[in-house]
Amino acid sequence: MNIEEIRKDFPILKRKINGKQLIYFDNSATTQKPVQVINAIKNFYETYNANIHRGIHTLSQEASEMYEDAHKKVADFIGANDMQEIIFVRNTTEAINLVMYSYAMENLEKGDEILTTIMEHHSNLVPWQYVEQKKGIKLKIADIKDDGTLDLDQFKQMINEKTKIIAITHISNVLGTINDIKKIRKMKKDAILLVDGAQSVPHMLVNVKKMNCDFLIFSAHKMLGPTGIGVLYGKKELLEKMKPFLYGGDMISKVEQHKSTFAILPWKFEAGTSNIVGGIGLATAIDYLNKIGMQNVRDHEKELVKYFLEKLEDRNTIIYGPKDPEIKGGCISFNIKGFNYHDIASLLDKSGIAIRSGHHCAQPLLKRLGTTGTCRASFYIYNTKEEIDKFFDILNKIRG
Amino acid sequence: MFWKRKKKKEEDSLTLSEKAIISLLQSSKKPLSTEFICKKVDKLNLGCVDEPSHFLHRLEKKGIIKKEFSKKEKIILWSLSEKYDRLLR
Ligand SMILES: Cc1ncc(COP(=O)(O)O)c(C=O)c1O
């Protein structure tokens, strides 16, 4: 993996912020885009732009094929059977809402249970709260241990015959904890297993068959792709049984005055004109990641995490989540005693360093950790140890 | 940027959170910390708890407020800039 060559593909990394070279450590929020993705978007609008499906003319044929190929590329990337299992949505949040409306609201009954964890992003918590309020189901929330890993013993005890959905993040966007999905699947084989892959799919090899999950969900913008496009993977037999999420054009087979039949998968769940160029941008991002190799991506981040943690540790610094890079993704949350987390982010920004501060859309977790916010540094393929050195030059001056 | 709309007055384009921050600083005799401002503005329930800090920095970029880091107290202190009044007009 040649980081110097990779960095050349990211025009934004040349930017100066407050007169200093940008150091972008906010990759859990969104990643930067390589020229390959930017050009694919530009090229589509300049050369292929047309609405997809049903068009006879050449442009429409070409655009339709490109959009379908994007589904196929995603299917291969996560080890799905075929493109019928890949639904393009706006983002992770929308995909979870799709499952919530089209599966949970339709199939769960009073007394049923949904099991989730305290380390979820709001996107994988608030939709289930809605089901709890509307359907009278019970939402159970499993705790973490003090080291920031999931309390698997408690998790197991919380499972019973009423557990109908297990909704869990693969990697916590605050703690970096990597959850053992295969182990969780073994604990309960007959519940719907929804995996929030927003922080895992961009950073490691993820295979839906190996995890045996029913749904896997992620956003393109966190993996070099554009905003406004995300993915819902679902097992075909499940998706086929589910009702559509949005109704209207593009998702139908036949329409009469008072009834309609719906299109085959995945189009049944893609109503209206799609984010065509978004799909093509995502496919290009996947090509880019495949060329690097997802194992290389993961190894690079593990090295950065190890290096960063060694430098971060200090008696005035609180580090949240596991410290072993083997069970941690590429994000590190911390607080410096006596400092406000937003102030740290603000002082770092003065030196061109972008980190995130605050609750990271995980307020219940932050409360569990005994704080209202943290600083979070998160890495990707273009980050280097030299950037980490520069980061600590500044941070050490701040923390004194 | 070509699509940026023309504003009538800077004050008209301020968000409710930005207005709340300015009014807090106007009524205070001394500079205020990030934490203090964020807690106060959060109580108004205008949005998510992290938003006030975002707006503090937006106001700073517009030159309406300024910050100073107090090394002794380990906090950033915010106050109105000398030209804020003129900028809002
Ligand atoms: C673990 C996790 N889940 C869900 C989301 C929501 O993603 P999006 O805003 O793209 O819907 C995020 C975003 O940070 C995340 O980190």
pLDDT in tens, A252-281: 999 999 999 999 999 999 999 999 999 999
Q: Going by C-beta distance under 8 Å and a sequence separation of 6 or more, which residues neighbour residue A15?
A: A22
Residues A333 and A234 in one domain: no
A30 in contact with chain B, both atoms CB, cutoff 8 A = no
β-bridge partners, A357: A375
- Within a domain: A329: yes
Q: What is the DSSP letter of A193?
A: E
Indicate whether residue A179 lines ligand 1 (CB < 6 A).
no
Is A30 within a domain?
no
Please name the residue that has the structure tokens 């053992």. A180
- For residues A374 and A380, give the distance between their C-alpha atoms in angstroms, rounded to a whole number: 20
The helix (run of H) or strand (run of E) holding residue A346 is helix A341-349
DSSP state of A189: S
Do the beta carbons of residue B72 and residue B34 sit within 8 Å?
no
- Do residue A303 and residue A285 come from a single domain? no
B9 pLDDT above the threshold of 80:
no
Note the residue count of chain B.
Answer: 89
Q: Which atom of ligand 1 has the smallest separation from the CA of A222? A: 10
CATH of residue A223's domain is 3.40.640.10
Same domain, A259 and A359: no
Domain assignment of residue A34, yes or no: no
pLDDT at B2: 64
The full DSSP string for A63-102 is HHHHHHHHHHHHHHHHT-SSGGGEEEESSHHHHHHHHIII
Q: Look at residue A260 and give its three-state secondary structure.
A: strand
**B33/A346 Cβ within 8 A:** no
Q: Is residue A75 part of a domain?
A: yes
One-letter identity of residue B79 = S
**Non-local CB neighbours of A21 within 8 Å, separated by 6+ positions:** A352
Residue B6, pLDDT > 70, answer no
Q: How far apart are CA A236 and CA A240, in angstroms?
A: 6
For the entire predicted model, the pTM comes to 0.96
3-state helix, strand, coil in chain A (%, to 5): 45, 20, 35
Q: Which residues contact B83 (CB under 8 A, 6 or more apart)?
A: B63
Q: Which residues pair with A141 in a beta bridge?
A: A116
The reply to whether A150 and A277 lie within a common domain is: yes
Residues A358 and A246 in one domain: no
Using the structure block, give the residue that is written with the tokens 């106050």: B79
pLDDT in tens, A96-139: 999 999 999 999 999 999 999 999 999 999 999 999 999 999 99
A235: Cβ below 6 Å to ligand 1? no
Whichever domain contains A394, its CATH number is: 3.90.1150.10
Which two tokens mark B7? Answer: 């504003």
CA distance linking residue B69 with residue B76, whole number of Å: 4
**Measured CA distances, A376 to A321, A331, A333, B37 (Å):** 11, 7, 4, 22
Residues of A tagged active-site = 361
A149 and A202 both lie in a single domain: yes
Q: Does A339 touch chain B (CB under 8 A)?
A: yes
DSSP 3-state of A217: strand
Residue type, A194: L
- pLDDT score of A265: 97
pLDDT for residue B7 is more than 70: no
Of A213, A270, A359, give the one whose Cα is nearest residue A88: A270
**Tokens found for residue A178:** 């990597």
Give the span between the Cα atoms of A154 and A102, in whole angstroms: 29
Shared domain for A303 and A215, answered yes or no, is: no
Which 14-43 residues of chain B touch chain A by CB within 8 A?
Answer: 33-35, 38
The answer to whether the beta carbons of residues A379 and A305 sit under 8 Å apart is yes
pLDDT of the residue at A175: 98
Please count the other Cβ atoms lying within 10 Å of the Cβ belonging to residue A123: 22
A219 lines ligand 1 (CB under 6 A): yes
One domain for residues A224 and A80: yes
- Nearest residue to B48 via CA among A122, A226, A344, A391: A122
CATH 1.10.760.10 applies to domain B12-88: no
Q: Which of the residues B17, B34, B71, B75 would you substitute to probe the A interface, choosing the one with the greatest number of A C-beta atoms within 10 Å?
A: B34
Decide which of A241, A261, A291 is a domain's last residue. A291
pLDDT at B3 over 80: no
Supply the range of the domain harboring residue A380: 3-25+293-399
pLDDT in tens, B14-28: 999 999 999 999 999
Residue A57, domain member (yes or no): yes
- CB contact (8 A) between residue A359 and residue B53: no
CB-CB neighbours of B77 under 10 Å: 18
CA distance A154 to A151: 6
Report yes or no on A370 lying in a domain.
yes
Indicate whether residue A196 lines ligand 1 (CB < 6 A). Answer: yes
Q: Based on the domain organization, do A131 and A78 belong to the same domain?
A: yes
Task: Kindly state whether residue A232 falls inside one of the protein's structural domains.
Answer: yes
Boundary residue ending a domain (A237, A261, A291): A291
Q: Which among A343, A358, A400 is the nearest to B76, CB-wise?
A: A343
CA closest to B74 among chain A residues: A339
d(CA A363, CA A361): 6
Give me the interface pTM, i.e. the ipTM.
Answer: 0.90
Task: Indicate whether A239 and A284 sit together in one domain.
Answer: yes
Let me know if residue A300 belongs to a domain.
yes
Interface of A with B in 369-388 (CB under 8 A): 372-373
| Total domains, chain A | 2
Mean pLDDT, all residues of chain B = 89
The tokens describing A220, both together, are 């393109």
Q: How far is A182 from chain B (nearest CA, A)?
A: 35
Please check whether residues A311 and A256 belong to one and the same domain.
Answer: no
Domain boundary among A256, A291, A326: A291
> Within chain A, which residues score under 50 in pLDDT?
none
Residue A54: per-residue pLDDT: 82
Task: Output the CA torsion sign for A85, A90, A96, A101.
Answer: negative
Residue A97 and residue A196 in one domain:
yes
